[in-house]
Amino acid sequence: SRSTSALGGRSGNFDKVLKMIDEMVELLGKEQSDDDSKKGYCEEQIDKTEDASKVLEKKHGDIMAAMADAQESIEVLKSEIEALTAGIKALDKSVEEATDLRKSENAEYKETLAADTAAKKLILIAKNRLAKFYAPSLYKPPPKQELSEEDHIAVNMGGTPPPTEAPGGIAGTGVTYLQQDSAPMFVQVNRHQASSVEAPPPPPETWDAYQNKEQEHNGVVALLDMLVADLDKEMQEMEAEETTAQKEYEEMMAESAAKRTADSEAITSKEGIKADLEQQVQAMDEESNAILKEGMAKAEYLKDLHLECDWLLSNFEVRKTARAGEVDSLKKAKAILSGADYELLQTSRRSLRGAQ
């Protein structure tokens, strides 16, 4: 009975050992399962974080490139706006200068036209006064004075008409304008006119003498007609030049106004585009800063992952192999112990049968 008890005690000890072996095998299996899970988690999180970091890095690079392009466009727009503004100032100055020149040309035209008109009137008056003495049939007397209604009544009642006012102007001709530059010609005409107002010379004694006077008169008249023709030609040319100059000035004004309007609209458009680009640059800058912060957070998280996972990942296979070997050894030990327990039990039973 003591032998039986002893054998039973040994068998009980083997059971405890075998149980401990099972528990150790189970623990090793759980540890390996935990390592497998941790390895999968680490690899997944590291890959995911690295991919996200690469995406953020690319996105940040794209934003920086877009910002650089926008800044370059803004600088180009600034230059174009400055050029257009300077062009408008230059255009305004040229318009002002052209306007001043046109006013000056027009004033000169009017002054010269008035002088030529006055000169022509004087020449025609001189020609008419010469005709009064040398060709009475060609003389045109001045228009009779028109009496007012009161003067008509006074004359009808036996009164005298009011005295005729002497014409003013140059030498009593009524012409009041004499251009200074043309004075020598008018003075010459005026001298001839003054001499023609005097009493005519005594009748010529012979037909030859009279014929010489008539030829002289005809020569003077021809000269006056030539002067009038020259003045008419000059006035026609001046009028044509003035018309052309005014037309060209108006065309320039129209073109300048159209260009100024177009340039002003271009400036407004470019300033709007520039403002939009500046807003985009500001938004991209804010987005870039946000991406940098997110990238820094990802980098910090990746650093923590490596601190947590690098040792496991680098020793995973070693630990797995070691555990497998340990489990295999435990299982072999269990088998050995299980076999020894069985042999001991059989021996014990044979001993008991022999004792009986």
- Tens-place pLDDT, residues 185-234: 333 333 334 333 444 455 455 444 445 566 777 888 889 889 999 999 99
* Of 308, 307, 300, the residue nearest 38 (C-alpha): 308
Q: CB-based contacts of 303: which residues, under 8 Å, 6+ apart?
A: none
pTM comes to 0.57
Exposure string of 301-317, with b = 16+ CB inside 10 Å and e = fewer, is ebeebeeebeeebeebe
Residue 246: CB atoms within 10 A of its CB come to 14
Q: CB-based contacts of 208: which residues, under 8 Å, 6+ apart?
A: none
- Which tokens go with 20? 């401990």
- Tens-place pLDDT, residues 29-78: 999 899 899 999 999 999 999 999 999 999 999 999 999 999 999 999 99
> CA 330 → CA 15, 20, 323, distances in Å?
14, 10, 10
Contact (CB, 8 A) for 260 and 89: no
Separation between Cα atoms, residue 324 and residue 28, nearest integer Å: 8
Q: CB-based contacts of 276: which residues, under 8 Å, 6+ apart?
A: none
The reported pLDDT for the residue numbered 151 is 65
